[in-house]
Structure 1
């Protein structure tokens, strides 16, 4: 199970990149939709860094306990 948790962190990064791309595509045609994608990109990028930080912290704790 821990193997999958390591990779699910990067799904947030992929979603942030795709949301940024979609925001640039919608910028000229539909600004409201572009703002939604920018908001999604910011939130998922934050979640990527937040989850990666705590994953490393838990891995370090597990390494020290062994």
Structure 2
């Protein structure tokens, strides 16, 4: 179970990179679509750090 959570945690970073790539390719032709992709990449990075912090907090709670 813990290994699956780690995989999904790092999947957020993969999605962030994909959304940034998508924003770069859309930038010259569709700025609104590029801004949406940038917002989604920022959300994915936020979710990565949120899940990492929550997982660490959960592990510390189980150890004590």
- How big is the shift at 1:25? 1.0
RMSD across aligned positions (CA):
1.1
Give the structure-2-normalised TM-score.
0.89
Unaligned runs of 5+ in 2: none
Show structure 1 runs of 4+ deviating over 4 A: none
Give the structure-1-normalised TM-score.
0.86
Unaligned runs of 5+ in 1: none
- How big is the shift at 1:2? 2.2
- 1:1-66 to 2 correspondences below 5 Å: 1-64=1-64
